[in-house]
Structure 1
Amino acid sequence: MGIVKAAMAEEESKRQTAVEILMKVGFLDHCEHHEEIIFTVGGDEEVTGAYKYGNANWTAYQGSFKDRKDMTDHIKQESENSDYANDGCEICRSMFEKD
């Protein structure tokens, strides 16, 4: 694997781990019918909770990040990701609106 490809894979792994943490604390959720659809359900309190959760469970996550700051930076980045801006599944919403 090339250096760039390895760096991209490492970054994606960090992103996925940050999303996992944000889901565990209730900042993000996924659609019951479309698991690939992730949306925001929480606010600032849950982001703060994600930082605390990640730090309290550092041993479980230290293999994914170079240090705690790297972890909190990725949590912050994903909490601000506009891909999760919707407050629900757009696929389900459009299906229910048709009815």
Structure 2
Amino acid sequence: MTNVKTSRFDVAEYLTDETLINAYLNEALSDGSPSDFIQALNDVARAKGMNELAEKTGIRRESLYKTLQSEKPRFDTMLKIIDGMGLQVTLTPKASHEPLAEA
């Protein structure tokens, strides 16, 4: 059996521009898994730099790490982090969604 050498892969090292970051976060959102989206935010935060994000959000670096490794972070904290990344949350109707009936 041949020994295969591998190296550690860290997606944060490849998130080098805003277009890639947007695509990565949107893809993480598309499957509907909150844990995938939180992990993607963690990756982006590391790519951008936790210290810089801590300064922009007013959240201590240690708290950022803890929040982005939590299974159920607070929504208001997530919005602060997203805002600190220079992003905003926008909701759009699904293409296959039928509108709610009027009351």
Give me the TM-score of the superposition, normalised by structure 2. Answer: 0.30
Higher relative contact order (CA 8 A, sep 6+): 1
Give 1 or 2 for the bigger CA radius of gyration.
2
Give me the TM-score of the superposition, normalised by structure 1. Answer: 0.30
